[in-house]
Structure 1
Amino acid sequence: MSMADNSVSEQEFRSVANEEREEASPPEVSILIPSAKTTTESQVRRRRIYKVPPPLRANMEHVYDPVVLSLGPYHHGRPQFRQVEEFKAEILNRFVSGSVAKDKSFFFNKILEQIDEIRSYYEEGSTNEFNDEALAEMVLSDACFILHYMELEDENEYHPLGMSLVSFMFRDFLMLENQIPLWIIRYLIGLKYDKDEGEALFYKFLSFMNFGDDRLTQIPWDNDNGSEPLHLLEAHRTTLLGQGKEFIRDQPRFLPRLLGFRWKRWKRKISSQSMFKMESRPFYSVTDLKAKGIHFRPSSNCLTDVRFHSYPFYGLLQLPIWFVTNNSMVFFSNMMAFEMSPEIDTDCDVISYVNFMKSLLETPRDVKELREKGILFSCLGSDEEVLKMYKQIDTYGVNNCGLFLDVKTRIEEHCSSKAKTWMADLIHTYFRSPWTAIALFAATLLLCLTFLQTYYTIHPVKNN
C-alpha cells in the first residue's frame, strides 16, 4: 500500500495546507505532499512502521536500538536521549522563527489535525501512552530535526553535542524503529520552500547520504503513481536500488516472489533441477572464480546490478560498488528487517545482495581482490574486518533465489566448460606474473632451438 493512497482526512489536510501556503507565499506545496487518490475500501489499508520482530532482535539489540537519538514513539523518553532532545527543542524554535513567519501553534495544529492518521502508521497500541498533544509535539519536533539535518552543509553545526554523539546519531538515523512517516517531513519542506527548492533539497540529501556526491538530479521515485516511500529508510533503499538499472537493459531482470517463479521472463530455459542443484551447495568464492579465469569489475551503485559475461578465454563478473563503514551492518540489518516486515511487498533485493556477497567472500583474499578492483571500499582497519562484517549479518534463511539465478547459471556454465577452464588454468599458471610469462617464453624458445639443433644434426645442410 503506497503513501499516496491515504484517507479522506489526509486529503483535507493537504488542501488546507495548500491554502495556508498560498496565503503566505506564491510557491506551491502540492508536489511535496502525497497526492490523494480515490480508493476502494480494500485499497486504503496502509503500510505501517513495524517494530523489529523478536526473533530478529535476540542478542542483536545493539543493531536495532538507537543509542543517542530517538525518532518516533517507539523509543521516545529514554534517559540517554535527553541531550539530543534539548537540541531538538532549539532546532524547532529555529524552524518556527525562520521559515514562513508562522508561530509554533500553526505547525502544531496542522500536525494535530492529522494525529489519528499519524497513529495509524505505527503498531496498534504502541502510541497509547501519548495523548494527542504529546504525540503531535513529538512528531513536529522530530520532523524539524530531520529537516535541519537535511539542510546542513557544515557538520560543525553538531559540534555542541560532541563528536561522540554525532557519530552515533548518523547510525541512529538508519534504524527501522526510529522512523516517522515521510510525508510529514515533505509537508514541512513544502511549507518552507517552493516546489523546485524543496525537491532539490530532498534529492541532494539522498544523493549525499547514499553516494557521497550530488549525482541525483531528481527524486528517484514517481510521486504521481503513488510510489513514495513510507519513511526515510525506505527512501534510502529506493535510491540504492534505483541507481544503475538503466545499465542492465541487456540482461533480463528476474523479479519473482520468494517461492513463486515467473519462468516466462527468462530468455533461456533453466530447469528447476539445475536451480536447486546450484542453491544446495556453496557458490564459488572470489578466489575460486579468479582461478577459473573470471575477472571482476564494478558495475554501478545499484545493489542488484550484477552482470556476467563469458568470453572464449575468460569471464567478466561486474558487481555493485559499496563503501563499507562501521554502520554498514546496522544499515543492512535494519534494511532487511524492513523487507521482512508485514504488509511490505518487496523482492528482498537487499537480502539477496547480502547473501550473494556472503557467498563470494570466504577469506580476506576475496575482500582484497574486490577492493583492488574498485568494487569494495572500506574505512575499516583491515580486510578481515570487512569479511567479518558481511559474515555477521544474519539473513535468517530468507533469500530471493531467482534474483541472481541467471548470473549464477551463466557462471556455472562458464566454469563447467573444460576448454575455458583449461585455458584459464594455463593463463593462471603461466601468465599470472611477468616472470612466469618470461620463463615460459624462454623455455619454449629453448625447446624450439633444441629441436632445430637436433634436426640439423640428423639432416645437415649440404654445401652447394
Structure 2
Amino acid sequence: MMKLSAMCSIKRTDPANSSSNNATFDINDESERLHILIVDESCHDNTVIKEWSEVYAGDRTGNNLSRKRRIEKVPSLMRRAHEGDNQEYNPRVVSLGPYHHGKQELQLAENLKHSILPKFISGSGKQFDDFYNKVLEVIDDVRSCYVEGSTSDYNDQEFAEMMLLDGCFLLYYIECMSNRRLEIWEFVHHMGMFAAKYILSDLFLLENQLPLQLLEALMSERFKEDERGGMIENFFAVMFAKAPPPRSKHSISRREDEKQPLHLLEALRTILLSNYDEDKQGIQSSLLPSGRKELPICDVKEYIRSSIRPVTELQAKGIQFKRSNSVSLKDIKFNSKCFYGQLSLPPRIITAQTKTIYSNLIAYEMCPSTPNDYGITSYISFMKSLICQPEDVRELRSKNILINCLGNDEEVVKMFKDIITYDLQKFGIYDEVRKDIQNHYNNKMKTWMAELIHKYFSSPWTVIAFIAATSLLVLSFLQTYFTISPTHH
C-alpha cells in the first residue's frame, strides 16, 4: 500500500483556458504530481481562493472567522449531491422569508397566512398598525440577516408586510403546538391532512428561516412577558414528546449575544447539543492549526479501525444499549465493565419529517459562517454506523432508544442511509466514545466471556440447552470412567 506523505507543496496556476471563477492548483509530493481544477460557481473576484490561501497559511481558522452570521442558502455542491432531488431543502407547502417567496406551488399557505394574521393579532388588544410598526423598527436588522441581494426586490413596505405575515403564521403555529390547542386543526381544515403534515418540516428548512429577533419583536406585542417566556422551548418539548421545561421569562432567543441562535433551525441545534463543550475545536481549526504549513499525515490503518460496528455485532461482543435520560445528542456515553460494556444513547422519535430536519441541520453546519463543531453531522455519522440492518433498529426499539413512526424497521435503515454526511470528521465529538468502544472490542478476555454469555445465557431456552448439554457431557464422562475403572467392593 502506498504510504501517504505529509510533505506537500501547493501553488496556484492560472491556465489560459480557465474562466475567472475557476482556480487550478498543482500539488507536488515525493512520488506524484497532481493537477487539480477547482470550479466554484459562487467564486467571484477570487474571494474563495483568497480565503483558502489564508486557511492554508494559518491566518484563518474556524475560530477567528469574522464573517457576519446570516440565514444561509444550501451550498450548491450539496444540492448537486442529491442528483436533482432537492425536496429535503425546498419547502413543500409554506415559504418563510424571501428565498422561496412567491412560488406558485406555495400559494395555498399564502392564503392561510392572511386569515391567521387577524386571529394572531386579536388576542393582544392591539391593532394591525402596532404590529406593522414594530416590524418596521427592526426591518434593517432583519433584512441584513439574509444573503446580500436576496431582498433587493422588496422595498421596506413590501418586505415588512412579508415578514409580518410569515412571522405571525410561524408564531401562531408554534403557539398552537406548544400549548396543544385545538386550533392546530385549522391548518388541516384549510390545507388538508396531506399538505398540513409537511408544515413542521418546512419550518426547519435552512432556506426557510426567520430571524428570532423578528419573532421576539412580534411576541413582545402579542404576549405578556411571563406568557412568552419559554414558548419556543415548549414547542421543542412537544416535538421530543418530553415534559416542558419550567416556565422562564427568558426564551432561548434572548441569551447573551455570543450564544444567541439566529433562527429556529439554529435554536433546535442548540437544544439538541445542549451542554456541549463549546471550547472543543471543530474540523476547520483541527485541519490546519494556526502557523502550521504542512498537511497532516493520513493514518489509513487507524481510519479503517475507527469504524463503529453495527448494533447486533457490538451486542454479540457484550456491549449493551441503554436509553439515556437526556435528549441532548452530546449525551452519548460508553462504560466498560468487567465482562460487558454499556452504550447510552439519547431517545429519538423517527417520523416522516426526521430526514428533512436532519438534512437541513447538516446543511446549516456546512455553511461558512456557522458553528464548526459539526455536532449534528457527527451524530448522524455515528448512528449510520450503528444501524445497518433492520435487526439493529429492532434492538434499539426494544430499549426505547428509537421510537419508529415510519411503519417498519427497513424504512428507518433507509432513512439513515439516505442522509448524506460527507464523511467530514467521521465521528467528530464522539471520537472518544468511539475509542472507548474500540478498546473494549479489542479486549479478548472481555469479548470471549461476552460471547459465551451471549451464546449460552441470552434466553431461558439457551440456558436450559446449555445445562442439558453440560449434564449429558458429565454423565458420558462418568459412564466412560466407571466402565474403564469399575469400582471393586
Amino acid of the structure 2 residue aligned with 1:60? D
**In 1: Cα distance, 2:449 partner to 2:88 partner:** 46
Structure-2 residue corresponding to 1:110: 134
Q: Is the 8 A contact 2:233 2:244 kept in 1?
A: no
Distance, in Å, in 2 between the alignment partners of 1:414 and 1:230 is: 41
1:236 to 268, 271, 281: 268
1:234-284 CA-to-partner distances (Å, cap 9, x unmatched) read 111112222xx59xxxxx99933115459xxxxxxxxx9998644335431
State the partner residue of 1:213: 242
Distance in 2 (alpha carbons) for counterparts of 1:326 and 1:314 = 35
Q: Which runs of structure 2 are paired with 1:381-420 in the superposition (5 Å)?
A: 381-399=407-425, 401-420=427-446
| Residue 313, structure 1, aligned to residue 339, structure 2 | yes
Indicate which of 69, 86, 89 corresponds to 1:64: 89
Cα displacement (A) at 1:144? 0.8
Q: How does 1:379-458 map to 2 (within 5 A)?
A: 379-399=405-425, 401-453=427-479, 458=485
CA deviation string 1:385-408 (max 9, x = no partner): 100000011112323644111111
**Distance in 2, Cα, partners of 1:273 & 1:405:** 18
Matched, 1:301 2:327: yes
Q: Could you say which residue in structure 1 is the equivalent of 2:116? A: 91
Residue 51 of structure 1: aligned partner: 73
Report if the CA contact (8 A) 1:336-1:351 is conserved.
Answer: yes
1:347 matched to 2:357? The reply is no
Could you list the runs of 5+ residues in structure 2 that have no partner in the other structure?
A: 1-63, 288-295
Shift of 1:316: 1.0
Write the distance in 2 (CA, Å) between the matches of 1:165 and 1:337. 24
Counterparts in 2 of 1:164 and 1:402: CA distance versus 1, 3 Å: closer
Instruction: Identify the match of residue 156 of structure 1 among 180, 185, 195.
Output: 185
**Distance in 1 separating the partners of 2:390 and 2:279:** 31
Asked if the contact 2:378–2:428 (Cα under 8 Å) also holds between the matched residues in 1, the reply is no
Q: Tell me if structure 2 keeps the 8 A contact 1:314–1:424.
A: yes
CA RMSD of aligned residues (A): 2.6
Contact 1:237 1:335 in 2 (8 A): yes
Q: 1:402 to 1:241 in 2, by over 3 A?
A: closer
Q: Residue type matched to 1:144 in 2?
A: C
Deviation at 1:445, TM superposition (A): 2.4
Q: How does 1:248-327 map to 2 (within 5 A)?
A: 255-258=280-283, 260-261=285-286, 277-281=301-305, 282-299=307-324, 300-327=326-353
Structure 2 letter corresponding to 1:440:
F
What is the deviation of 1:441?
1.1
Residue of structure 2 in register with 1:223 after alignment: 255
Identity %: 43
Kindly state the Cα deviation for residue 337 of structure 1 after the two structures are TM-superposed. Answer: 0.7
Q: Does residue 131 in structure 1 map to residue 151 in structure 2?
A: no
1:201 aligns with 2:231: yes
Compared CA separation, residues 237 and 412, structure 1 to 2 (3 A)? same
Shift of 1:212: 2.1
Does the aligned pair in 2 maintain the 1:253–1:403 contact within 8 Å?
A: no
Deviates more, 1:344-353 or 1:112-121: 112-121
2:252–2:260: 8 Å Cα contact kept in structure 1? no
Q: Please, which moves more after superposition, 153-162 or 74-83? A: 153-162
Are 2:335 and 1:335 equivalent residues in the alignment? no
CA–CA distance in structure 2, aligned partners of residues 214 and 459 of structure 1: 73
The amino acid across from 1:207 in the alignment is A
Contact 2:318–2:341 (8 Å) recurs in 1:
yes
Residue 450 of structure 1 and its aligned partner are, at CA, apart by 4.2
CA separation of 1:110 and 1:382: change in aligned 2, threshold 3 A: same
CA 1:461–1:228: 2 relative to 1, 3 Å: farther
CA displacement 1:406-449 (0-9 Å, x = unmatched)? 11111111111111121122122222332222122122223334
Instruction: Tell me, in whole angstroms, the C-alpha distance in 1 between the residues paired with 2:278 and 2:456.
Output: 38
* Cα distance in structure 1, aligned partners of 2:422 and 2:297: 24
Shift of residue 305 of structure 1?
1.6
Cα distance between partner residues in 2 of 1:234 and 1:274: 33
Q: Which residue of structure 2 aligns with residue 5 of structure 1?
A: none
**Equivalent AA in structure 2 for residue 70 of structure 1:** S
Deviation at 1:287, TM superposition (A): 1.7
Name the residue aligned to 2:171. 147
**Secondary structure of 1:317's partner?**
strand
- Letter in structure 2 aligned against 1:227: K
Equivalent pair of 2:322/2:399 in contact (CA under 8 Å) = yes
Deviations, residues 169-223 of structure 1 (Å, cap 9, x unaligned):
22211111111101111121122222221114332122112x1233322545771
Q: TM-score, normalising length from structure 1?
A: 0.80
Structure 1 residues 338, 423: closer, same or farther in 2, change over 3 A?
A: same
Q: CA deviation at 1:55?
A: 1.1
Q: Is the 8 A contact 1:291 1:424 kept in 2?
A: yes
**In the aligned structure 2, how far is the partner of 1:307 from the partner of 1:44?**
34
CA spacing shift, 1:253–1:114, aligned 2, 3 Å: closer
Please tell me the residue identity of whatever aligns with 1:113: E
Q: Which has the higher helix share?
A: 1
Q: Matched residue of 2:122: which SS?
A: helix
Assess, with a 3 A threshold, how the Cα gap between structure 1 residues 63 and 326 changes in structure 2: closer, same or farther: same
CA distance in 1, matches of 2:152, 2:360: 25
TM value normalised by structure 2: 0.76
**Do 2:352 and 2:406's aligned partners in 1 also have CA atoms closer than 8 Å?**
yes
Match 1:192 to one of 212, 215, 222? 222
Report the AA paired with residue 487 of structure 2. Answer: P
Q: Shift of residue 65 of structure 1?
A: 0.4
Counterpart residue number, 1:75: 100
Q: Distance in 2 between matches of 1:117 and 1:381?
A: 44
Are the counterparts in 2 of residues 256 and 403 from structure 1 also a CA contact under 8 Å? Answer: no
Whole-angstrom CA distance in 2 between matches of 1:287 and 1:278? 23
Residues 326 and 43 of structure 1: CA distance in aligned 2, closer, same or farther (over 3 Å)? closer
Moved more, 313-322 or 152-161: 152-161
